[in-house]
Structure 1
Amino acid sequence: MAAPRKYSVELQLRATRIAMHARKDPESARGAIKRVTDQLGVHPEALRNWVRQAEIDGGVQPGTTTDRAQRLAKLEVRQLRRVNEVADPGSPARSPHRRRTRPGRVGGGAGRPTSAAHTGPPASRGVLPSR
């Protein structure tokens, strides 16, 4: 879930439009963002980022457009899901009826070895043979 927006979309569009218009006029270009942020109560960096992205989307500046960034994000999510499916096709998330067991545990409970673990010669149990 995305974080809540501090500024409404309408305020963002309005502030961006006003700032871009003010920057086109050579007499008001200097300090335009600061004036607009003071008038509308928006953080200067937020407005600066909105204007920069609007210029990229409009083809004025080079960079990744908003549409392209959204398409790339969707593609990345799709690819990650595909990789996860290939990497672990039998995961419990995909097989709800599969019982999860702990590896290396055979009966006994609480970490105690079972009697089957004590089979074999005495030396294998850590007991040295007497002479």
Structure 2
Amino acid sequence: MTAWEGCRCACSSSAEFRQRAVELARVRTGSIREVAESLGISESCLRNWMSRADIDTGSKPGLTSDEHKELVELRREIRRLETENEILNVPPRASPGRTSSQNDLPGGAGTGRGQCSL
């Protein structure tokens, strides 16, 4: 998921449309509201796109779209690894008919494995 996809405006638009809308808003003499209305999007949506474009070009501080995408992926990987770690750290339960001390013996009790034969 890119940072652009996080925009919750009524429009479902391509990256090219967003880029052109931002360019149009910057070169037009009209207000951002007027530009947004002429494009059929909300003013807040256009302002978000403009802010995101400023961050991506480095003219405004913040996480770029690529950095945001990487952060989301890394957080997802951390959650997956934490879940796996929790699963691996759960102590084994005793099997039915066996005590936990029997389960702790190598090969299990009464199996013939792990016992000395003379």
TM-score range, shorter chain: 0.5 to 0.7
Shift of 1:60: 1.0
Shift of 1:81: 0.3
| Corresponding residue for residue 57 of structure 2 | 58
Structure 2: stretches of 5+ with no match in the other structure? 91-118
TM-score, L = length of structure 2: 0.61
Structure 1: stretches of 5+ with no match in the other structure? 23-27, 92-131
Q: Any residues of structure 2 matched to 1:17-56 within 5 Å, and which?
A: 17-22=23-28, 28=29, 32-56=31-55
| RMSD of Structure 2 on Structure 1 (CA) | 2.8
| Corresponding residue for residue 12 of structure 1 | 18
- Identical pairs, percent: 32
1:68-116 deviation digits (Å, cap 9, x = unpaired): 000001010011100000001388xxxxxxxxxxxxxxxxxxxxxxxxx
- Specify which structure has the higher proportion of helix: 2
Question: Does the CA-based 8 Å contact 2:11-2:41 persist in structure 1?
Answer: no
| Corresponding residue for residue 104 of structure 2 | none
TM-score, L = length of structure 1: 0.55
Shift of 1:35: 1.9
1:18 alignment partner AA: L
Aligned residue-pair number: 84
Which structure's CA Rg is the greater one?
Answer: 1
> Larger RCO: Structure 1 or Structure 2 (Cα < 8 Å, ≥ 6 residues apart)?
2
